[in-house]
Amino acid sequence: MARKRDIRLVDSIVKKLGLSQDQRELLHEALRHDCLQDATYQDILDLAREIKQEYPGKSQTGKE
């Protein structure tokens, strides 16, 4: 069940931060397995925050 748990965690981060579709696409690219193995929940949360901050122009909701 690791996949379901992991994808649910990333979904919760996307929703928590209110990432737009293109920010979510960037997060998917950033988390390429060959680049970023063993990323923790905190790593992914930090990365998503950075993406939102660094690429804010097209964000839709901005919940955090």
Q: Which residues, other chains included, contact 30 with Cβ-Cβ below 8 Å and sequence gap of 6+?
A: 36, 47, 51
Among 21, 62, 63, 64, the residue binding other proteins under the rule CB under 8 A is 21
Instruction: Determine if 25 is a binding residue for other proteins (CB under 8 A).
Output: yes
Tokens of 56: 């804010």
Distance of CA 45 to the CA centre of its chain: 6
CA distance 32 to 35: 5
29-48 residues near other proteins, rule: CB under 8 A: 29-36, 39, 43-44, 46-47
Residues lying near other proteins in the complex (CB under 8 A) are found at 2-4, 6-8, 10-11, 14-15, 20-22, 25-26, 28-36, 39, 43-44, 46-47, 50-51, 54-55, 57-58, 60
